[in-house]
């Protein structure tokens, strides 16, 4: 019996290591360092575009997001920021923002939401919590607790 438990732990160790590595990644990071493909089926990217870091909408959006990082982590969100329109990043090329724009990408890689104004974490959470994949995640967590 002990060897079965030891074997199960051996198989689970890489998964724990992967989860730990992902937990160490910052929730907010520059979009230039990221590709959407790396988040497929793992994270929900929220991309915040602006023409400058001094844009009042960008500043407000970042304050709103930073105020509730726990909710973002619970919904497996990574925030990507792009405030340099002079550099046509792959995300700018794909999503074509004009000035400030908030974009929510689902785990499936599809655009779920585009907003020209800052949104609170509560508003984002409500939108995400209505998605079928998030509903399944909630059901799976409840079942795991029982």
Q: What is the pLDDT of residues 97-107, one digit of tens each?
A: 999 999 999 99
Query: Does the residue 109 lie in any domain?
Result: yes
Residue pointed to by tokens 């409500």: 126
Please count the structural domains in the chain. 1
Query: Does the residue 76 lie in any domain?
Result: yes
d(C-alpha 30, C-alpha 92), whole Å: 13
Instruction: Answer yes or no: pTM beyond 0.95.
Output: no
d(C-alpha 145, C-alpha 136), whole Å: 14
Helix (H, G, I), strand (E, B) or coil at 76: coil
Q: How many residues are present in the chain?
A: 146
Average pLDDT over residues 2-31: 57
Query: Does the residue 15 lie in any domain?
Result: no
Residue pointed to by tokens 């995400």: 128
Q: Tens digit of pLDDT for each residue in 36-49?
A: 999 999 999 999 99
Q: Cβ of 113: how many Cβ atoms within 10 Å?
A: 15
Question: 19, 43 in Cβ contact below 8 A?
Answer: no
Question: 65, 78 in Cβ contact below 8 A?
Answer: no
One DSSP character per residue, 90-111 reads: HHHHHH---SSEEEEE-TTS-E
Q: Considering only residues 114 and 6, tell me which one the structure prediction assigns the higher pLDDT.
A: 114
Q: Tens digit of pLDDT for each residue in 48-93?
A: 999 999 999 999 999 999 999 999 999 999 999 999 999 888 999 9
What's the CATH code of the domain at 87? Answer: 3.40.30.10
Residue 2 has a pLDDT of: 52
d(C-alpha 125, C-alpha 70), whole Å: 11
Query: Does the residue 74 lie in any domain?
Result: yes
Domain that holds residue 89: 26-145
Q: Tens digit of pLDDT for each residue in 109-139?
A: 999 999 999 999 999 999 999 998 888 887 8
């Amino acid at each position: 019996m002990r060897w079965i438990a030891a074997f199960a732990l051996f198989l689970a160790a890489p998964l724990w290591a992967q989860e730990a590595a992902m937990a160490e990644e910052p929730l907010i990071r520059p979009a230039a360092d990221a590709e959407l493909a790396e988040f497929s089926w793992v994270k929900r990217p929220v991309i915040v575009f602006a023409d400058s870091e001094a844009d009042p909408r960008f500043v407000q959006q970042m304050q709103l997001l930073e105020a509730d990082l726990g909710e973002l982590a619970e919904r497996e969100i990574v925030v990507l920021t792009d405030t340099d329109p002079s550099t046509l990043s792959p995300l700018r090329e794909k999503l074509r923002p004009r000035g400030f724009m908030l974009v929510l990408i689902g785990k499936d890689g599809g655009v779920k939401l585009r907003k020209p104004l800052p949104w609170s974490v509560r508003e984002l959470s409500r939108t995400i919590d209505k998605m079928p994949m998030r509903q399944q995640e909630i059901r799976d967590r409840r079942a795991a607790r029982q």
